[in-house]
Amino acid sequence: MVSRKDVAQLAGVSVAVVSYVLNGKNNVKEETRNRVLAAMQELKYEPNLLARSLKTQRTQQLAVFVNYLGNPFEAGILLRLEAAARQEGYLVFFQTYTPDLEQPLISALRGRVDGLVLLGQQLEYETFQRLKALDVPVLSVTQSPMLQEWGIPCIDLDWVKQYREAILFLKNKGHHRIAYMTDTVSGCYHLHRLRAFQEAIRLEGLALPEQLILDGGGKVETATPMFHDFIEQNASNLPMSALVCSNDLMAAAVVDACKTNSIKVPEQLAIIGSEDILMTQHTDPKLTVIHYPREMLGTLAMNMMKQLLLKSPMESFTVEGELLPRGTA
Protein backbone atom coordinates (compact mmCIF):
# COMPACT_ATOMS: atom_id res chain seq x y z
CA MET A 1 0.00 0.00 0.00
CA VAL A 2 1.16 3.49 -0.89
CA SER A 3 2.22 5.54 2.15
CA ARG A 4 2.71 9.24 2.82
CA LYS A 5 6.42 8.59 2.61
CA ASP A 6 6.07 7.37 -0.98
CA VAL A 7 4.07 10.47 -1.86
CA ALA A 8 6.63 12.70 -0.15
CA GLN A 9 9.51 11.10 -2.05
CA LEU A 10 7.87 11.45 -5.44
CA ALA A 11 6.86 15.05 -4.75
CA GLY A 12 10.27 15.89 -3.32
CA VAL A 13 8.88 17.18 -0.02
CA SER A 14 8.90 16.04 3.60
CA VAL A 15 6.27 13.68 5.02
CA ALA A 16 5.07 16.57 7.19
CA VAL A 17 4.21 18.60 4.10
CA VAL A 18 2.14 15.72 2.72
CA SER A 19 0.28 15.66 6.04
CA TYR A 20 -0.33 19.41 5.88
CA VAL A 21 -1.87 19.00 2.43
CA LEU A 22 -3.99 16.06 3.56
CA ASN A 23 -5.30 17.98 6.55
CA GLY A 24 -6.04 21.10 4.53
CA LYS A 25 -3.52 23.31 6.34
CA ASN A 26 -2.75 26.71 4.80
CA ASN A 27 0.98 26.68 5.39
CA VAL A 28 1.86 25.02 2.06
CA LYS A 29 2.65 26.99 -1.11
CA GLU A 30 0.18 26.51 -3.94
CA GLU A 31 2.89 25.13 -6.21
CA THR A 32 4.04 22.60 -3.57
CA ARG A 33 0.47 21.60 -2.83
CA ASN A 34 -0.13 20.88 -6.51
CA ARG A 35 3.01 18.78 -6.68
CA VAL A 36 1.86 16.74 -3.67
CA LEU A 37 -1.63 16.27 -5.13
CA ALA A 38 -0.14 15.18 -8.47
CA ALA A 39 2.06 12.66 -6.67
CA MET A 40 -0.95 11.29 -4.77
CA GLN A 41 -2.84 10.90 -8.00
CA GLU A 42 0.05 9.23 -9.77
CA LEU A 43 0.57 6.76 -6.94
CA LYS A 44 -3.18 6.36 -6.40
CA TYR A 45 -2.60 7.23 -2.77
CA GLU A 46 -5.66 7.15 -0.53
CA PRO A 47 -5.34 8.17 3.09
CA ASN A 48 -5.90 5.48 5.68
CA LEU A 49 -8.89 6.85 7.52
CA LEU A 50 -8.48 4.48 10.42
CA ALA A 51 -5.01 5.79 11.13
CA ARG A 52 -6.11 9.34 10.52
CA SER A 53 -9.11 9.15 12.83
CA LEU A 54 -6.87 7.84 15.58
CA LYS A 55 -4.81 10.98 15.27
CA THR A 56 -7.62 13.48 15.06
CA GLN A 57 -9.66 11.63 17.69
CA ARG A 58 -12.63 12.03 15.40
CA THR A 59 -14.05 8.95 13.77
CA GLN A 60 -16.59 10.74 11.56
CA GLN A 61 -18.91 7.91 12.51
CA LEU A 62 -22.25 8.07 14.26
CA ALA A 63 -24.11 5.21 15.85
CA VAL A 64 -27.87 4.81 15.84
CA PHE A 65 -29.66 2.43 18.18
CA VAL A 66 -32.81 1.12 16.50
CA ASN A 67 -35.48 -0.89 18.27
CA TYR A 68 -36.84 -2.86 15.34
CA LEU A 69 -35.75 -2.16 11.80
CA GLY A 70 -38.66 -4.28 10.55
CA ASN A 71 -40.86 -1.30 11.43
CA PRO A 72 -40.90 1.02 8.42
CA PHE A 73 -41.26 3.92 10.85
CA GLU A 74 -37.78 3.29 12.20
CA ALA A 75 -36.29 2.28 8.85
CA GLY A 76 -37.57 5.58 7.44
CA ILE A 77 -35.93 7.56 10.22
CA LEU A 78 -32.68 5.68 9.73
CA LEU A 79 -32.81 6.35 5.97
CA ARG A 80 -33.14 10.08 6.56
CA LEU A 81 -30.56 10.20 9.31
CA GLU A 82 -28.06 8.58 7.00
CA ALA A 83 -28.75 11.01 4.18
CA ALA A 84 -28.31 14.00 6.49
CA ALA A 85 -25.22 12.54 8.15
CA ARG A 86 -23.57 11.84 4.84
CA GLN A 87 -23.97 15.46 3.82
CA GLU A 88 -21.85 16.29 6.84
CA GLY A 89 -19.25 13.65 6.03
CA TYR A 90 -20.39 11.14 8.63
CA LEU A 91 -20.90 7.42 8.23
CA VAL A 92 -23.75 5.84 10.14
CA PHE A 93 -23.64 2.59 12.07
CA PHE A 94 -26.81 1.13 13.31
CA GLN A 95 -27.28 -1.34 16.09
CA THR A 96 -30.45 -3.08 17.12
CA TYR A 97 -30.79 -2.29 20.79
CA THR A 98 -31.91 -4.86 23.32
CA PRO A 99 -31.44 -4.34 27.06
CA ASP A 100 -29.46 -7.57 27.48
CA LEU A 101 -26.93 -6.30 24.95
CA GLU A 102 -26.32 -2.97 26.61
CA GLN A 103 -22.85 -3.78 27.88
CA PRO A 104 -21.47 -5.34 24.69
CA LEU A 105 -23.04 -2.57 22.61
CA ILE A 106 -21.43 0.14 24.61
CA SER A 107 -18.06 -1.60 24.69
CA ALA A 108 -18.27 -2.07 20.96
CA LEU A 109 -18.84 1.62 20.38
CA ARG A 110 -16.07 2.90 22.60
CA GLY A 111 -13.63 4.85 20.48
CA ARG A 112 -15.52 4.13 17.30
CA VAL A 113 -18.12 6.88 17.15
CA ASP A 114 -18.35 10.62 17.69
CA GLY A 115 -22.01 10.61 18.63
CA LEU A 116 -24.97 8.39 19.36
CA VAL A 117 -28.58 8.72 18.23
CA LEU A 118 -31.26 6.80 20.12
CA LEU A 119 -34.61 5.91 18.62
CA GLY A 120 -36.44 6.36 21.92
CA GLN A 121 -34.99 3.41 23.82
CA GLN A 122 -36.01 2.81 27.39
CA LEU A 123 -32.61 2.82 29.10
CA GLU A 124 -31.60 1.59 32.52
CA TYR A 125 -30.00 4.23 34.72
CA GLU A 126 -26.74 2.29 34.69
CA THR A 127 -26.72 2.29 30.92
CA PHE A 128 -27.18 5.99 30.95
CA GLN A 129 -24.14 6.28 33.21
CA ARG A 130 -22.10 4.13 30.88
CA LEU A 131 -23.23 6.16 27.91
CA LYS A 132 -21.92 9.23 29.67
CA ALA A 133 -18.60 7.44 30.10
CA LEU A 134 -18.41 7.03 26.32
CA ASP A 135 -18.01 10.79 26.36
CA VAL A 136 -19.89 11.36 23.11
CA PRO A 137 -23.01 13.45 22.62
CA VAL A 138 -26.29 11.53 22.73
CA LEU A 139 -29.62 12.61 21.34
CA SER A 140 -32.88 10.81 20.83
CA VAL A 141 -35.22 10.89 17.89
CA THR A 142 -38.58 10.13 19.52
CA GLN A 143 -38.77 10.23 23.24
CA SER A 144 -39.03 7.73 26.05
CA PRO A 145 -39.43 8.33 29.79
CA MET A 146 -36.34 9.54 31.67
CA LEU A 147 -34.32 10.59 28.64
CA GLN A 148 -35.19 14.22 29.05
CA GLU A 149 -34.77 14.18 32.79
CA TRP A 150 -31.28 12.87 32.21
CA GLY A 151 -30.54 15.76 29.91
CA ILE A 152 -30.62 13.81 26.65
CA PRO A 153 -32.30 16.12 24.13
CA CYS A 154 -35.16 14.55 22.19
CA ILE A 155 -36.94 15.33 18.94
CA ASP A 156 -40.55 14.23 19.06
CA LEU A 157 -44.19 15.15 18.60
CA ASP A 158 -46.09 16.75 21.46
CA TRP A 159 -48.00 13.53 21.99
CA VAL A 160 -50.44 14.89 24.55
CA LYS A 161 -51.49 17.55 22.07
CA GLN A 162 -51.67 15.11 19.12
CA TYR A 163 -53.65 12.55 21.08
CA ARG A 164 -56.03 15.21 22.41
CA GLU A 165 -56.73 16.18 18.82
CA ALA A 166 -57.37 12.53 17.91
CA ILE A 167 -59.61 11.99 20.95
CA LEU A 168 -61.57 15.16 20.22
CA PHE A 169 -62.03 13.99 16.62
CA LEU A 170 -63.41 10.68 17.93
CA LYS A 171 -65.60 12.38 20.54
CA ASN A 172 -67.14 14.52 17.82
CA LYS A 173 -68.12 11.29 16.07
CA GLY A 174 -69.80 10.09 19.25
CA HIS A 175 -67.05 7.86 20.66
CA HIS A 176 -66.64 7.80 24.43
CA ARG A 177 -65.18 4.36 25.06
CA ILE A 178 -61.76 4.71 23.48
CA ALA A 179 -59.11 2.02 23.93
CA TYR A 180 -55.35 2.25 23.40
CA MET A 181 -52.97 -0.39 22.10
CA THR A 182 -49.37 -0.18 23.28
CA ASP A 183 -46.30 -2.41 23.45
CA THR A 184 -45.17 -3.10 26.98
CA VAL A 185 -42.45 -5.54 25.98
CA SER A 186 -40.14 -3.25 24.05
CA GLY A 187 -41.06 -0.27 26.20
CA CYS A 188 -39.06 2.35 24.32
CA TYR A 189 -41.14 5.14 22.82
CA HIS A 190 -44.35 3.15 23.26
CA LEU A 191 -44.28 3.84 26.99
CA HIS A 192 -43.91 7.56 26.41
CA ARG A 193 -46.84 7.56 23.98
CA LEU A 194 -48.98 5.56 26.41
CA ARG A 195 -48.43 8.06 29.19
CA ALA A 196 -49.25 10.92 26.84
CA PHE A 197 -52.45 9.15 25.79
CA GLN A 198 -53.47 8.63 29.40
CA GLU A 199 -52.91 12.31 30.05
CA ALA A 200 -54.80 13.30 26.90
CA ILE A 201 -57.80 11.11 27.81
CA ARG A 202 -57.90 12.70 31.26
CA LEU A 203 -57.73 16.20 29.83
CA GLU A 204 -60.58 15.35 27.46
CA GLY A 205 -62.69 14.22 30.41
CA LEU A 206 -62.79 10.53 29.50
CA ALA A 207 -61.63 7.42 31.33
CA LEU A 208 -59.09 4.81 30.28
CA PRO A 209 -59.61 1.80 32.55
CA GLU A 210 -56.97 -0.95 32.61
CA GLN A 211 -59.05 -3.25 30.45
CA LEU A 212 -58.95 -0.71 27.62
CA ILE A 213 -55.15 -0.69 27.53
CA LEU A 214 -54.21 -3.52 25.18
CA ASP A 215 -50.74 -4.92 24.65
CA GLY A 216 -50.18 -5.62 20.97
CA GLY A 217 -46.43 -6.25 21.18
CA GLY A 218 -45.52 -3.66 18.56
CA LYS A 219 -45.56 -5.91 15.49
CA VAL A 220 -48.14 -7.27 13.06
CA GLU A 221 -47.14 -10.79 14.06
CA THR A 222 -47.87 -10.12 17.72
CA ALA A 223 -50.88 -7.80 17.42
CA THR A 224 -52.81 -10.11 15.10
CA PRO A 225 -53.22 -13.11 17.43
CA MET A 226 -53.61 -10.75 20.41
CA PHE A 227 -56.54 -8.97 18.82
CA HIS A 228 -58.14 -12.20 17.58
CA ASP A 229 -58.09 -13.43 21.18
CA PHE A 230 -59.48 -10.14 22.40
CA ILE A 231 -62.41 -10.35 19.98
CA GLU A 232 -63.06 -13.93 21.01
CA GLN A 233 -62.94 -13.17 24.74
CA ASN A 234 -65.48 -10.44 24.23
CA ALA A 235 -67.67 -12.62 22.00
CA SER A 236 -67.37 -9.95 19.27
CA ASN A 237 -69.06 -7.48 21.63
CA LEU A 238 -66.16 -5.07 22.05
CA PRO A 239 -65.94 -2.94 25.21
CA MET A 240 -64.91 0.10 23.11
CA SER A 241 -66.08 1.80 19.94
CA ALA A 242 -62.69 3.26 19.02
CA LEU A 243 -59.04 2.21 19.31
CA VAL A 244 -55.89 4.29 19.00
CA CYS A 245 -52.71 2.29 18.34
CA SER A 246 -49.30 3.46 19.39
CA ASN A 247 -47.85 2.37 16.05
CA ASP A 248 -49.21 1.70 12.58
CA LEU A 249 -48.09 -1.92 12.29
CA MET A 250 -50.46 -2.81 15.13
CA ALA A 251 -53.24 -0.65 13.63
CA ALA A 252 -52.89 -2.49 10.30
CA ALA A 253 -53.06 -5.81 12.15
CA VAL A 254 -56.27 -4.75 13.92
CA VAL A 255 -57.91 -3.69 10.62
CA ASP A 256 -57.17 -7.16 9.30
CA ALA A 257 -58.35 -8.99 12.42
CA CYS A 258 -61.63 -7.03 12.27
CA LYS A 259 -62.15 -8.07 8.66
CA THR A 260 -61.52 -11.73 9.48
CA ASN A 261 -64.01 -11.53 12.36
CA SER A 262 -66.65 -9.55 10.44
CA ILE A 263 -66.32 -6.49 12.65
CA LYS A 264 -67.08 -3.47 10.48
CA VAL A 265 -64.48 -0.68 10.41
CA PRO A 266 -65.20 2.13 11.20
CA GLU A 267 -68.88 1.43 12.00
CA GLN A 268 -68.27 -1.07 14.83
CA LEU A 269 -64.70 -0.04 15.58
CA ALA A 270 -62.93 3.17 14.62
CA ILE A 271 -59.13 2.81 14.40
CA ILE A 272 -56.36 5.44 14.45
CA GLY A 273 -52.63 4.85 13.96
CA SER A 274 -49.80 7.05 15.21
CA GLU A 275 -47.16 7.34 12.48
CA ASP A 276 -48.41 7.33 8.87
CA ILE A 277 -46.13 4.68 7.42
CA LEU A 278 -46.67 3.82 3.75
CA MET A 279 -48.66 0.69 4.53
CA THR A 280 -51.48 2.74 6.08
CA GLN A 281 -52.50 3.92 2.63
CA HIS A 282 -52.89 0.36 1.41
CA THR A 283 -55.06 -1.18 4.09
CA ASP A 284 -58.79 -1.56 3.42
CA PRO A 285 -60.17 0.83 4.53
CA LYS A 286 -57.19 3.15 4.52
CA LEU A 287 -55.97 4.00 8.00
CA THR A 288 -56.74 7.26 9.72
CA VAL A 289 -53.45 8.29 11.28
CA ILE A 290 -51.51 10.95 13.09
CA HIS A 291 -48.93 12.00 10.53
CA TYR A 292 -45.42 11.97 11.98
CA PRO A 293 -43.27 14.29 9.83
CA ARG A 294 -40.36 11.91 9.42
CA GLU A 295 -39.03 13.65 6.30
CA MET A 296 -37.45 16.40 8.36
CA LEU A 297 -36.13 14.27 11.22
CA GLY A 298 -32.80 13.44 9.61
CA THR A 299 -31.81 17.03 8.98
CA LEU A 300 -33.10 18.16 12.35
CA ALA A 301 -31.21 15.44 14.19
CA MET A 302 -28.01 16.11 12.31
CA ASN A 303 -28.22 19.83 13.01
CA MET A 304 -28.66 19.07 16.67
CA MET A 305 -25.79 16.60 16.63
CA LYS A 306 -23.50 19.19 15.08
CA GLN A 307 -24.30 21.61 17.87
CA LEU A 308 -23.74 18.91 20.47
CA LEU A 309 -20.38 18.02 18.93
CA LEU A 310 -19.42 21.66 19.44
CA LYS A 311 -20.39 21.18 23.10
CA SER A 312 -23.32 23.57 22.77
CA PRO A 313 -26.15 22.93 25.21
CA MET A 314 -29.21 21.72 23.37
CA GLU A 315 -32.91 21.78 24.20
CA SER A 316 -35.40 19.16 23.10
CA PHE A 317 -37.32 19.95 19.96
CA THR A 318 -40.99 19.47 19.16
CA VAL A 319 -42.20 18.76 15.63
CA GLU A 320 -45.79 19.27 14.47
CA GLY A 321 -47.95 16.27 13.67
CA GLU A 322 -51.27 16.25 11.86
CA LEU A 323 -54.37 14.08 12.07
CA LEU A 324 -55.15 12.63 8.64
CA PRO A 325 -58.71 11.32 8.50
CA ARG A 326 -58.95 8.45 6.01
CA GLY A 327 -61.20 5.41 6.10
CA THR A 328 -60.88 3.80 9.52
CA ALA A 329 -62.17 6.64 11.71
Site of interaction with a copy of itself (CB under 8 A): 44, 46-51, 53-54, 59, 61, 68-70, 72, 75-76, 78-79, 82-83, 86, 91-96, 101, 107-108, 110-112, 133, 220, 249, 252, 255-256, 278-279, 281-284
Residue among 85 and 208 whose Cβ is closer to a copy of itself: 85
Spatial separation of the C-alpha atoms in residues 137 and 158, rounded to whole Å = 23
* CB of residue 230 to a copy of itself, shortest distance in Å: 19
Q: CB of 321 within 8 A of CB of 275? A: no
**274 — phi, psi (to 5°)?**
-120, 10
Q: What share of the chain is helix, strand, coil (3-state, %, to 5)?
A: 45, 15, 40
Residue among 103 and 312 whose Cβ is closer to a copy of itself: 103
* CB of residue 315 to a copy of itself, shortest distance in Å: 29
* CB of residue 237 to a copy of itself, shortest distance in Å: 26
* CB of residue 95 to a copy of itself, shortest distance in Å: 7
Residue among 4 and 175 whose Cβ is closer to a copy of itself: 4
* CB of residue 211 to a copy of itself, shortest distance in Å: 27
Spatial separation of the C-alpha atoms in residues 191 and 181, rounded to whole Å = 11
Other CB atoms within 10 A of residue 202 CB: 12
Residue among 92 and 154 whose Cβ is closer to a copy of itself: 92
Residue among 7 and 208 whose Cβ is closer to a copy of itself: 7
Residue among 75 and 238 whose Cβ is closer to a copy of itself: 75
Find all residues with CB under 8 Å of 238, minimum gap 6, and list them: 230, 231, 263, 268, 269
- The residue count of the chain comes to 329
* CB of residue 255 to a copy of itself, shortest distance in Å: 8
The 3-state DSSP class for residue 61 equals strand
The 3-state DSSP class for residue 232 equals helix
